[in-house]
Amino acid sequence: MRHPAPDAAVILDTETTDLPGQTVEIAVIDAATGKKLMDTLVKPTEPISDGARWVHGITDEMVARARPFEKILPRLRQVTKGKVICAYNADFDRGVVLGDVRRAGKRPMHLEAEDSWYCLMEAYKDWLGSFRWLRLGGRHRALGDCESARRVLIRMSKGRGSTFTLTAPAEGDPVPGPPSGTVLAVTEVSPTRQRVQPE
């Protein structure tokens, strides 16, 4: 995997009211340079759940005076147009963005196409040869998670080297994951493979 050129790709992350839910914070950075292109709180139309607030620390009071999604959408379109949109859990972030676009009664344009999005988490799992849930390690705020995802991208672009090997967990091995009962909870699919919920 090559490190992207400037303006070729961006990294996007959302924080939400719940799982699934509406955007309460969104950030976008340039994948090559790390330049911040967007970082804003967003006012949802529903309250933030206790579980989501426990994870990202964003309260209803913090977003009460933020702009609603339809007001930040033009900027989101601008900073992502013509670029690959990378996200650590692309299916989740794409679904959140498209849900907010629909609620706002707007057109998704390039944000809808699946081939506009690239999942860094799936790429990282394949790169490691891992079947485990891979924690991103960000601060669970949108900008911090974008920066953590960029570090994953940079690591993959440099190659693994010859000494690092990681195998799938053996039958019965514990698989680390986030605290149960939170928006990070992992849903088990099989003894050796899990479906990942958003970071």
pLDDT tens digits for 86-141? 999 999 999 999 999 999 999 999 999 999 999 999 999 888 888 766 777 667 89
Query: What is the separation of C-alpha 195 from the centre of its chain, rounded to a whole number of angstroms?
Result: 15
Report, as an integer, the average pLDDT of 74-92.
97
- pTM over cut 0.85: no
Residue 68, beta-bridge partner list = 43
Pair type for strands 194-195 and 187-188: antiparallel
Query: What is the separation of C-alpha 151 from the centre of its chain, rounded to a whole number of angstroms?
Result: 13
User: Which residues have CB under 8 Å from 113's CB, separation 6+?
Assistant: none
CB contact at 8 A, 29 and 58 = no
Q: Is the pLDDT of residue 196 over 70?
A: no
Q: How far apart are CA 9 and CA 14, in angstroms?
A: 17
| Single-letter amino acid, residue 107 | R
Q: How far apart are CA 114 and CA 154, in angstroms?
A: 23
Q: How far apart are CA 25 and CA 133, in angstroms?
A: 24
Residue 5: per-residue pLDDT: 73
